[in-house]
């Protein structure tokens, strides 16, 4: 099939590559000229496991191409995806300017029936606004072109995006048009060979499903962080509590890890946006507000532990950070907990030496060259001359370090484990002080 995708970010590029891989002809449009030039040149602007070879192969074979020109792209696609960003507005609600700009562009160029598919995460009612924007442009041209708008929220996880896209848990389709649903079923048929993963519903329910999923996941994290903070005060170890509750199949072991708070481009903005949507409809979503608040506090947790350990004397100290990305297997730094920690350390007069397997370039892009930040090529290089080590992202490479080597390198041997990667006793046996999250010994 012929597919057009607006937006070549994490969602658009991965979706484009996976649809091309299944034999479709995919044309991706982006307003970012530099990004499109790099993609046409075979450079992949983001790190996502498995993405690069898939993009390169399909681009070489003519299945996947990139453009900044929307006109040929709109002529090309029988299915036109909108996968542009929906960042938070000043008040935390979703900023729809990019989604609606694409809708208007489509309306200005559309010449034959197309299914317009919204993949961006958007508040309930956005499909209606997209439909109205397209219709308005068509009316201004004085033409009548049939089209349908489908809500098809994306559930891929950064770090596993290609795998999630090729083998989705579910394909949520929100539509009241049989014709559009038939087109979408045909497009997704290769992903449904093992069993039908389609969950068909009305548009508004589909839009809310995405927010509900992210809000539920964020709630699990904030819930565990709440328990961790209680555990810390009562002298219990939240890691034992986690295993104790996860054994109940109604709870399960997935996604109940306490830590230094959630980040990324989705959870923080989506929880906030859902809360604002609720408020706009006269409902105070108190649980969502609490989830957000717990997370905000939790992102300051590592700093609090470090500050307390050094009796507030952080000026002139150097802290080594292992992990900068908001989670492993990505280079994405949006809302990363490391950013809050680094900024608090700098404010307190401390310096940072950091290592991340993928996010150094992005960190450099955000913070530029500064005297109080050294980005290192190797985890142990980050320890040179440092007074403490903080684990911020749970990359696999950090799971079993050489504690003797850490101890030898650090001025005052101490580890602040923001992801509870280590067993406290094992670290202490090696002669290092240990602070974790909710491990009943942090006070
Ligand atoms: P992103 O910021 O990585 O990419 C968005 C892209 O859209 C950018 O390259 C930007 O230049 C482009 N763009 C903006 N306006 C455009 C226009 N008018 N025409 C063409 N391109 C335009 O964003 P992302 O992370 O891919 O997220 C996209 C959407 O998907 C968001 O709504 C997000 O909430 C949602 N989502 C993201 C994830 C994720 O893990 N990143 C997962 C599920 C859903």
Q: Break the chain into its structural domains and give their ranges.
A: 2-201, 207-443
Residue 258 annotated as part of some ligand binding site:
yes
The rounded distance, in Å, linking the Cα atoms of 351 and 342 is: 8
Query: What ipTM did this prediction achieve?
Result: 0.99
Closest atom, ligand 1, to C-alpha of 84 = 7
**pLDDT the model gives residue 269:** 95
Alpha helical stretches, state H, 7-69: 10-21, 33-40, 51-60
**Which CATH number is associated with domain 207-443?**
3.40.50.720
Cα torsion 3, 7, 13, 16 to 10°: value is -10
Alpha carbon nearest to ligand 1 atom 34, residue: 121
Ligand 1 neighbours, Cβ below 6 Å, are 6-12, 29-32, 35, 83-86, 98, 101-102, 120-121, 154, 156, 158, 265-266
| pLDDT above 50 for 443 | no
Residue 396 annotated as part of some ligand binding site:
no
The rounded distance, in Å, linking the Cα atoms of 4 and 100 is: 16
CB contact at 8 A, 371 and 393: no
What confidence tens digit (pLDDT) does each residue in 297-333 have?
999 999 999 999 999 999 999 999 999 999 999 999 9
Averaged pLDDT for residues 270-292 = 97
pLDDT confidence bin for 441, thresholds 50/70/90: low
| pLDDT above 70 for 442 | no
Averaged pLDDT for residues 219-229 = 98
Strand boundaries in 310-397, DSSP class E: 318-322, 351-355, 373-375, 388-391
Say which CATH topology domain 2-201 has.
Rossmann fold (3.40.50)
- The overall average pLDDT reported for the chain is 97
The rounded distance, in Å, linking the Cα atoms of 422 and 236 is: 16
Averaged pLDDT for residues 355-359 = 98
If phi > 0 it is left, if psi is from -120 to 50 it is alpha, else beta; for residue 62 that is left
**pLDDT the model gives residue 411:** 86
Alpha helical stretches, state H, 310-402: 337-347, 360-367
The rounded distance, in Å, linking the Cα atoms of 258 and 339 is: 18
91: CA distance to ligand 1 center in Å?
20
50 CA to centre of own chain? 17
Residue 30 annotated as part of some ligand binding site:
yes
121: CA distance to ligand 1 center in Å?
9
- Catalytic residue numbers? 266
Closest atom, ligand 1, to C-alpha of 157 = 40
Angle CA 266–268–274, to nearest 5: 85
Angle CA 94–199–85, to nearest 5: 25
355: CA distance to ligand 1 center in Å?
27
What confidence tens digit (pLDDT) does each residue in 379-433 have?
999 999 999 999 999 999 999 999 999 999 998 999 999 999 999 999 999 999 9
The rounded distance, in Å, linking the Cα atoms of 264 and 327 is: 8
CB atoms within 10 A of CB 208: 19
Do 2-201 and 207-443 show the same overall fold?
Answer: yes
């Amino acid at each position: 099939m012929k597919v057009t995708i607006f937006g070549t970010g994490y969602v658009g590029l991965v979706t484009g590559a996976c649809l091309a891989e299944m034999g479709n002809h995919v044309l991706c449009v982006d307003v970012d000229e530099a990004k499109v030039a790099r993609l046409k040149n075979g450079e992949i602007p983001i790190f996502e496991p498995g993405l690069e070879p898939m993009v390169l192969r399909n681009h070489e074979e003519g299945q996947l191409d990139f453009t900044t020109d929307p006109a040929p792209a709109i002529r090309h696609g029988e299915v036109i995806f909108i996968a542009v960003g929906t960042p938070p507005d000043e008040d935390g609600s979703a900023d729809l300017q990019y989604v609606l700009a694409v809708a208007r562009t489509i309306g200005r160029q559309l010449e034959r029936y197309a299914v317009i598919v919204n993949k961006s995460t958007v508040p309930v009612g956005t499909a209606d606004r997209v439909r109205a924007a397209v219709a308005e442009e068509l009316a201004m041209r004085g033409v009548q072109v049939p089209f349908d708008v489908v809500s098809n929220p994306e559930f891929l996880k950064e770090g596993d995006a290609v795998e999630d896209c090729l083998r989705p848990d579910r394909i949520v389709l929100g539509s009241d048009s049989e014709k559009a649903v038939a087109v979408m079923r045909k497009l997704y048929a290769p992903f449904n060979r093992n069993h039908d993963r389609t969950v068909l519903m009305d548009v508004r329910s589909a839009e809310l499903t995405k927010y509900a999923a992210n809000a539920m996941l964020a709630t699990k994290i904030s819930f565990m962080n709440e328990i961790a903070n209680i555990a810390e005060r009562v002298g219990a170890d939240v890691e034992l509590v986690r295993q104790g509750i996860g054994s109940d199949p109604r709870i399960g072991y997935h996604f109940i890890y306490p830590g230094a708070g959630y980040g990324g481009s989705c959870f923080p903005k989506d929880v906030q946006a859902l809360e604002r949507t609720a408020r706009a409809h006269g409902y105070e979503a108190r649980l969502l507000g609490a989830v957000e608040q717990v997370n905000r506090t939790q992102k300051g947790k590592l700093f609090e532990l470090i500050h307390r350990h050094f009796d507030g004397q952080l000026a002139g100290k150097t802290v080594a950070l292992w992990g900068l990305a908001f989670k492993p297997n990505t280079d994405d730094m949006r809302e990363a907990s490391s950013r809050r920690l680094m900024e608090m350390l700098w404010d307190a007069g401390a310096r940072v030496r950091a290592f991340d397997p993928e996010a150094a370039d992005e960190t450099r892009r955000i913070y530029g060259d500064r005297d109080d930040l050294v980005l290192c090529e190797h985890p142990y290089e980050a320890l040179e001359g440092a007074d403490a080590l903080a684990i911020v992202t749970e990359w696999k490479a950090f799971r079993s370090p050489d504690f003797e080597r850490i101890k030898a390198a650090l001025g005052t041997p101490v580890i602040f484990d923001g992801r509870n990667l280590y067993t406290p006793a094992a670290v202490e046996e090696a002669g290092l002080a240990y602070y974790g999250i909710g491990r009943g010994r942090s006070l």
